[in-house]
Chains A and B, each alone.
Chain A
């Protein structure tokens, strides 16, 4: 349902919740960029004017950074898209081959496999991660394979959070955490990472131990962390994780650790698994993603790892929701991990090559952003970079004054410069949003041609200044 009010705002009563929209018109079509608490949605609405001059919306497609449609949109309106958070290049050949091999494999590749995870996959995951976690992982008891890390998070919240439980979420957070907590009847309690000092790197964004401790109540059930973090790129250090671990142990909390970007760390930053700290294995659910690991987000293969005592409850959720995950993709991912296990630490390992490639892209993007007065926060990990827009002098030329600064800036950037990004305050809770509305997020897991195009836009812009 679209309603237009006098300010020109369009309220789209979406299937979930009302969202505020701002629209910018580029050419004959009108693009609506929606933002709500959880995400930024892009609506393409083709308006057609009939003979009386009345315009009617002909077709609407509501999508959220959908690559397929957004690519068409980007091509049509010449938007260079550094907003959507997934690769625009293909997965590595060895994983694609593994998939093709699985597809042309015997009939069992196309029928149900073991519900909680295809045996070859869970075995290779257990083998691979046991050494890293410092704990012998039982392939059948301690691992649940899910439809993407997204479903692993869903199972965790559904299995462990009851009505009235509180769940601490470290901000900025991947937008799905809050609705999932809400769906489980829980209450989200937010603690922000705060920039301290010069803020040149994601490492300068820190969690205050006092602030975190102050949020814990008798009803607190769990804490959700994401390392490397989306959108900032922070890679939590051992001491920081230890601080969180100490509180988890002291207050007997669970920890849900979203580590989908675990292989993407730069400048020698080390990804540390909170589950490997003493006292944490039995209370931590570690979530991983084949999509992020092997640049194949469309396969939707993820997993949760943890003590069998906790995983078993997630299995109950899983068997009453989707029950099985697709077989062939699991087979391929299993082979991927076998290969990586053999090549671990060597230059041929994809887990070495991908971060090395991305580090270069990171450097390049940061330099481009600096040249126009945007202040990037160098991410220690992940494939996103946030940049401070405060010192950029632009006339935003828009009538909307009660909208967050970063949203207005993103809109302007698309309209005037043809560069798509995501406003960072969308990753914050309502109560803290205003404090963090001067950052926008860029994604750099893109082909060089995409980054070159972005560079071109930024170069031109800096010349105009």
Chain B
């Protein structure tokens, strides 16, 4: 297209196409309202700054500059006929283009920023530019982008840091599950899709194991759904059963994903904290209890469900039968559902018993129980979990599953099935992994508690799970020098300081509570103790030398 034609186009157009056909280069549309030249116009020819541009000039910018235009004397504004040189963008050909588009864009910016002309433009449509607001996120995820893991995983990633933060084992999983996985992958059909709601051998195995535990027949196809980790079960449950406008009661401290998931389902989280019973010297997770009246006051006609987590992350509380009965009574009274996150169900320490709320009278029909292969077999990276419940509830989770990811990986499910069947035989015996892992962890728990106390901190001895809450109040650590976000809680500051100064990573507990309870929990940090001895040795060394500078 000749320059003249191009300039004709330019005059007062609301849509500008800037072209120069140079060899294989074509054009990109730039949406511009109008182009005005400031200063003397015709006769000047192409300004020098434009002559020096290469063929690959592009015009691009996304800022409005009408304010600049209005400050100029109107009489000086003329249409840029002679002064705007043709510009092109380049189109990357299939083989890749020679001049990186970034270079073109930079040149474009210079051209547009030149004071000799004002270009009023709205936006343009070439690569490399930020999305307009039309392509912002959907409303359902508004405010859900940040979480504690995003913040702390990278901080703790440095290998010199002893990581007792994120909750995964650095002890190896039992060899038979790894072998089962390798074996499964060698079978042709195990590398292709399996049944969407759960690989048949896995759901049958789960039905056997949990049939024993629940003391009831569990239909493998209708009452079990296999999901991507306990996380995926929580998501399927929320999406399948919670509606816009519902309320969901969450007990603090809670695994941090409960609140965003409830919000993503359009519902309102209603929080109630566990409270510390006073007057004890040695504190265990059993000393953190719910106030029955307070809990009762949270239920109303909008309450869809209550989420419980037993054993609890991060405190490690194992809810007693009486406590569960109290919750069950309220669920029945108000006809609410119960979502019971029991991923740590096998990690119970001596003197305590894991009770499934679904086994209490009247509760099977209103409870979804969530479990995790990752926590059961120390294979968090397998991301397999399952939901167990009555058909009329599970079917809705299955609907979510078939419209979200459809099916879980086959070989992993086959391997977990083998693991389940093997341990089903051994249940109740010391060789059963469900028992042996808990025993191994109890030793680590006790060791962790001792070394934490030696450093002058106060542990909350967990009855279950593999986390320990540690009260750092008595250290009186001055953190005023730690620069931080406005209003960042003490434990966040403490953990960041500890990572930096002591090379020990933990997780701040206020990540697991709502704003109103922050003050109650901000002197606690969470340590994960499912770690091999060498990791615990390293932690011990740091904690022993704590008071030394």
Contacting residues of chain B (130-148) with chain A, CB-CB under 8 angstroms: 130-132, 134-141, 144-145, 147
CA distance A300 to B408 in the complex (A): 7
Contact of A91 among B96, B131, B181, B191 (CB under 8 A): B191
Query: Interface code A295-313, partner B: CB below 8 Å = 1, 0 otherwise?
Result: 1111110000001011011
Q: Are A147's CB and B94's CB within 8 A? A: no
Task: Tell me, rounded to whole Å, the shortest Cβ–Cβ distance linking B250 to chain A.
Answer: 15
Q: How far is the CA of A103 from the CA of B15 in the complex (A)?
A: 57
Query: Smallest distance from the beta carbon of B511 to chain A beta carbons, Å?
Result: 14
| Cross-interface CB contact of A147 among B101, B189, B405, cutoff 8 Å | B405
A1 shortest CB reach to chain B, Å: 11
User: Interface-forming stretch among B163-171, B267-275, B281-289?
Assistant: B163-171
Question: Which B89-104 residues have a C-beta within 8 angstroms of A?
Answer: 89, 91-94, 96-97, 100-101
Chain B residue nearest in CB terms to A332: B185
B261 within 8 A of A: yes
**Binary contact track B169-206/A, C-beta < 8 Å → 1, others 0:** 11111000010011001101111111110011000000
**In contact, A298 and B190 (Cβ under 8 angstroms):** yes
Interfacial chain A residues near B171, Cβ < 8 Å: 107
Residues of B within 8 A of A189 (CB): none
Q: Say whether, besides A162-B138, A316-B144, A326-B381, A71 and B131 are in contact (CB < 8 Å).
A: no
Nearest chain A CB to B144 CB, angstrom units: 6
Q: Within the assembled complex, what's the spacing in Å between the Cα atoms of A396 and B403? A: 34
Which residues between 82 and 115 of chain A lie within 8 Å of chain B, taking CB atoms?
A: 86-91, 96, 99-100, 103-104, 107-113, 115
**What CA separation (Å) do A104 and B172 show in the bound complex?**
11
Contact with A along B115-142 (1 / 0, CB 8 A): 0000000000111111110111111110
Which residues in B have their C-beta under 8 angstroms from that of A299?
Answer: 191, 409-411
B336 contact set on A, CB distance < 8 A: none
Contact between B169 and A107 (Cβ–Cβ < 8 Å)? yes
> Which chain A residue lies CB-closest to B394?
A15
User: Which one of B169, B173, B190, B383 has the highest number of Cβ atoms from chain A below 10 Å of its Cβ?
Assistant: B383
Give the shortest distance, in Å, between B310 (CB) and chain A (any CB): 21
Q: Which residues of chain B are near A89, meaning CB under 8 Å?
A: 188
Instruction: Please report the total number of B residues contacting A with Cβ < 8 Å.
Output: 88
A42 to chain B minimum Cβ distance, whole angstroms, is 12
Q: Is A144 an interface residue, CB under 8 A from the partner? A: no
Contact of B546 with A by CB under 8 A: no
Q: Which parts of B405-453 form the interface with A (CB within 8 Å)?
A: 405-412
Of the listed residues B136, B188, B194, B404, the one surrounded by the most CB atoms of chain A closer than 10 A to its CB is B404
Across the interface, which residues of B come within 8 angstroms of A252, CB to CB?
Answer: 132, 134-135
Q: Give the interface residue-count category, chain A.
A: 35 or more
Among A270-278, A352-360, A407-415, A435-443, the one that faces the other chain is A270-278
A179 at the interface (CB under 8 A from B): yes
Is there contact, CB below 8 Å, between A68 and B195?
yes
Q: Which residues of B contact A113 (CB under 8 A)?
A: 381
Q: A66-B194, A322-B229, A328-B381 are in contact. Are A150 and B411 (CB under 8 A)?
A: no
The winner among A68, A249, A309 for most chain B CB atoms within 10 A is A68
Q: Min CB distance, A421 to chain B, in Å?
A: 18
Q: Cα distance A296–B412 when bound, in Å?
A: 13
Interface presence of A321 (CB below 8 A): yes
In the complex, which residues of chain B have a beta carbon less than 8 angstroms from the beta carbon of A147? 228, 383, 405, 408-409
B502 at the interface (CB under 8 A from A): no
Of all chain A residues, the one with the shortest Cβ separation from B228 is A322
Given contacts A107-B171, A134-B94, contact A298 B383 (CB under 8 A): no
Q: Which residues of A have CB within 8 Å of B196?
A: 63-64, 66
A/B pair count, beta carbons within 8 Å: 247
A67 to B405, CA, bound (A): 17
CB of A224, distance to nearest CB on chain B (Å): 15
Q: How far is the CA of A40 from the CA of B460 in the complex (A)?
A: 55
In the complex, residue of chain A having the shortest beta-carbon distance to the beta carbon of B396: A15
**B458 adjacent to chain A (CB < 8 Å):** no
Q: Which residues of B contact A112 (CB under 8 A)?
A: 166, 168, 380-381
The distance in angstroms between the C-alpha atoms of A327 and B132, with both chains bound, is: 35
Minimum CB–CB distance from A298 to chain B (whole Å) comes to 3
Among B185, B232, B378, max chain A CB count under 10 A is at B185
- Judged by DSSP, the binding face of B is loop
Q: Are A254 and B135 in contact (CB under 8 A)?
A: yes
Instruction: Let me know if B398 is at the binding interface, CB within 8 A.
Output: yes
What are the residues of chain B within 8 A of A66 when measuring CB–CB?
193-196
A131 close to chain B: CB less than 8 A:
yes
Min Cβ gap A238→B in Å is: 8
Alpha-carbon separation in the docked complex, A173 to B170 (Å): 45
Chain B residues with Cβ below 8 Å from A110 are 172-173, 178, 378-382
The reply to whether B193 and A111 contact each other, CB–CB distance below 8 Å, is: no
Alpha-carbon gap, A93 to B260, bound state (A): 42
| A-side contacts of B126, CB under 8 Å | 278-279
* List of A residues within 8 angstroms of B229 by Cβ: 322-324
**Chain A residue with minimal CB distance to B240?**
A15
- Listed residue (B137, B170, B194) with the most chain A CB atoms within 10 angstroms of its CB: B137
- Residue A75 interfacial (CB < 8 Å): no
- A277 adjacent to B91 (CB under 8 Å): yes
Complex Cα distance, B229 from A255, in Å, reads 30
Is A317 touching B412 in the complex (CB atoms < 8 A)?
no
- Are B141 and A317 neighbours in the complex by a CB distance under 8 Å? yes
CA distance A281 to B193 in the complex (A): 32
Q: Contact at A135–B134, with CB atoms within 8 Å?
A: no
Give the distance in Å from the alpha carbon of A64 to the alpha carbon of B197 in the complex.
11
Cβ–Cβ contact B409 & A329, under 8 A: yes
A25 to B267 Cα, complex, angstroms: 47
Q: A158 — which chain B residues lie within 8 A by C-beta?
A: 138, 140-141
Residues of A within 8 A of B408 (CB): 147, 300
Residue numbers in B under 8 Å from A323 (CB-CB) = 229, 231, 257
Query: Quick check: A134 and B191 within 8 Å, CB to CB?
Result: no
Bound-complex Cα distance A361 to B306 (A): 55
**Residues A67 and B193 in contact, CB atoms below 8 Å apart:** yes
Contacts of B169 in A (CB 8 A): 107, 111
Q: A114-156: which have CB < 8 Å to B?
A: 115, 131, 134-136, 146-148, 150-151, 154
The answer to whether B264 touches A282 (Cβ under 8 A) is no
- Which residues of chain A come closer than 8 Å to B405, judged between CB atoms? 146-148, 150-151, 154, 300, 322
- Give min CB distance, B28 to chain A, whole Å: 5
Q: Which residue of A lies closest to B188 (CB)?
A: A90
How many Å from the CB of A384 to the closest CB on chain B? 15
Asked whether B29 is an interface residue with its Cβ less than 8 Å from the other chain, the reply is: yes
Per-residue interface assignment for chain A, residues 223 to 266, with 1 indicating a CB less than 8 Å from any chain B CB and 0 otherwise: 00000000000000000000000000100101000000000000
Given that A91-B191, A320-B235 are known contacts, is A107 also in contact with B172, CB under 8 Å in the complex?
Answer: yes
Complex Cα–Cα for A323 and B380 (A): 12
Contact A282 B127 (CB under 8 A): yes
> Does A184 count as interface, using CB distance less than 8 angstroms?
yes
Query: Cα distance A16–B404 when bound, in Å?
Result: 13
Output the nearest chain A residue to B169 by Cβ-Cβ distance.
Answer: A111
Does B402 contact A100, Cβ atoms closer than 8 Å?
Answer: no
Q: Which residues of B contact A136 (CB under 8 A)?
A: 100
**CB-based contact A320/B141 at 8 Å:** yes
Contact between chains at B134 and A320 (CB < 8 Å): no
CA distance A316 to B141 in the complex (A): 7
Question: Contact partner of A68 among B128, B149, B189, B403, CB < 8 A?
Answer: B189
- CB-CB under 8 A from A387, the residues of chain B are none
Chain A neighbourhood of B482, CB < 8 A: none
Chain B residues within an 8 Å CB radius of A214: none
User: Could you name 16 residue pairs across A and B whose Cβ atoms are closer than 8 Å?
Assistant: A16-B399, A61-B221, A87-B192, A96-B186, A107-B173, A110-B172, A113-B381, A147-B405, A148-B406, A158-B140, A160-B137, A281-B128, A298-B192, A298-B194, A316-B137, A319-B149
Instruction: Given A16-B403, A107-B172, A176-B403, output 18 extra A-B contacts at Cβ < 8 Å.
Output: A66-B195, A96-B186, A99-B411, A103-B185, A110-B380, A112-B380, A162-B139, A183-B403, A276-B92, A281-B128, A297-B191, A299-B409, A307-B131, A309-B131, A320-B144, A320-B261, A326-B384, A329-B409
10 A-B pairs closest in CB distance: A298-B410, A134-B92, A327-B381, A313-B137, A151-B405, A15-B395, A322-B228, A90-B188, A279-B125, A111-B168
